[in-house]
Chains A and B, each alone.
Chain A
């Protein structure tokens, strides 16, 4: 591992003032990201994973948002940086791929022009022709056939998968250090999903990027990630390496996510397993552990918030927020011979 992290997020808190009160969308998230690494942030809708990612780029700044904590890119603090400094970082050093390639391009401009716009925003001296040539190179790099002609296409002339490739091409235009992929495969067909993930993985390795992959799909995580952060109701509830999370998950919420995966290599369950209940409203969080109302293993200690710490002597980097002892966890997570969250009584 390289000595110092490229991106370092410490105790990040993002709140939004709403009519109902302050919504704490992200509540004390910390993680480090190193070059060449793929970090997956996993969680349900509303768990704060996208807000975390957008806050890194300063995209959540507004009159009604409250941002606390620290985001450091190669040692430089971003949370209180000037808009001008942030603008230089966006696209140039940190680039983002969005969930829905259908709506993430402006429909009225040619794709090549939108890529050129990104280049020209940071390199004023690059001419139109040069920017176009660069767009063609990028299209080739992300596997868009007939790039020479296709850069002059409009977004509506592309299929979803091709559009997401174009989106990735645009993100790579300025050779960023950090790539944030916010649910890059959610809007795509399953067959295309695998291609796009492989592309992101390859680019990450070839170009020495550091990638944050945001998803709610554990299948995507298993394919791509090196390390995993599981978020629930704005907090990180478990973090560790891919193997730690998949083979020795410590938090009941993670068990629930694993249990709801359907696997082709196991007998088909009568009903698809799910985590009962729904995520809490961020305006009205339960006292203590946020997952408590949905957790079948709740006990006397749960009304107190558990710290995010390692409870395993053999894996100091594998942290979770659950009061159960590791022995209890290993016993309780066995449901019908595999990891899962048992249905509430």
Chain B
């Protein structure tokens, strides 16, 4: 198991290296115009462009340029030039907000997705199952940019249940933190609740036909134990993979729309603003940050996977 984890972490480092190379190529090599001009942003003075060119060493060889870029990333010298602020500081400052949003939403969608999926599967074909199917499909079909304004309109303006927009730090006021987050959480989670309950339901219906479930019944286990220890447990394995991908992607940027609509000061909103102002360094920074979380969460998931399914630990199947 330890060897598996070590191997997985090495793999993670390699993937991150590849991502940083791609970022470098996409931002600094491919575009057919002086990179310093683009990094400087709109309305940059020739003096600024000149200094960026020297700072980033754009007259040197490409490997040297890559090293310079990575050095900046790791030493907190990646800065945006319109207002001269450190990109890293900006991201780090906003990470608590984005993590509050994504982790909370992740817990909500996993919990409701699993509960709804489990009961759908137990009552497959019954009225509860059909109702949940309808609700799930509605949840999957409603886009975030529709549901978020509708929720804000009815629950913040019409009936003033939830406060309007923004993020309050947990350390500042836990109650405000919570009330500010409930709407964004559900906005973000609702699609996945529907999707996860569908996936779990169909996994469980497949697993119910497995021979080992019949074996479990033949041993005299109670129906509840058969369902939880054998059917649910084995149906969760693919769900974990899915969750790793989705959760990583949520932290990395799926939350952009939600954060923007709720004027929520997270990393997603920072990225959206940077795009709007054509500021390259923040986009670069957010891309690397996003890649890190996707890869990191997936490494965690693979490790969890190896724990859940002993066959994965064999080695040959591990990547």
**Chain A residues at the B interface, C-beta cutoff of 8 Å:** 57, 59, 83, 87-92, 95-96, 98, 100, 103-108, 117-118, 121-122, 154, 156, 170
Contact = CB atoms under 8 A, between A and B. Distances in A.
Interface string B215-233: 1111111110100011001
Nearest to B214: A59
Interface in B271-319: 308-311, 314
Given A121-B220, A121-B221, A121-B225, 14 more contacts: A59-B214, A83-B223, A87-B220, A92-B220, A96-B215, A100-B211, A104-B214, A105-B212, A107-B212, A108-B234, A108-B237, A108-B308, A117-B219, A117-B229
Contact of A103 (B212, B223, B229, B237): B212
A122 B220 CA distance: 7
Contacts of B311: 107, 154, 156
Contacts of A88: 220
Contacts of B219: 90-91, 117-118, 121, 170
A101 to B, nearest CB: 9
B93 interface: no
Among B214, B215, B309, the one with the most A-chain Cβ atoms within 10 Å of its Cβ is: B215
A103 B211 contact: yes
A327 B118 CA distance: 63
A107 B310 contact: yes
Q: Which 7 A-B pairs have the closest CB atoms?
A: A91-B220, A90-B220, A118-B219, A103-B211, A106-B212, A91-B219, A96-B218
B210 interface: yes
Contacts of A107: 212, 234, 309-311
Contacts of B215: 96, 98, 104-106
13 contacts: A59-B214, A59-B217, A59-B218, A91-B219, A91-B220, A95-B218, A98-B211, A103-B211, A104-B214, A108-B233, A118-B220, A121-B220, A156-B310
Contacts of B222: 87, 121
Contacts of A105: 212, 215
Contacts of B310: 107-108, 154, 156
Contacts of B237: 108
A156 B309 CA distance: 11
Contacts of A170: 219
A87 B224 CA distance: 12
Contacts of A118: 219-221
A161 B245 CA distance: 39
B218 A90 contact: yes
Interface in B199-221: 210-212, 214-221
Contacts of B229: 117
Contacts of A57: 218
Nearest to B234: A108
Contacts of A95: 218
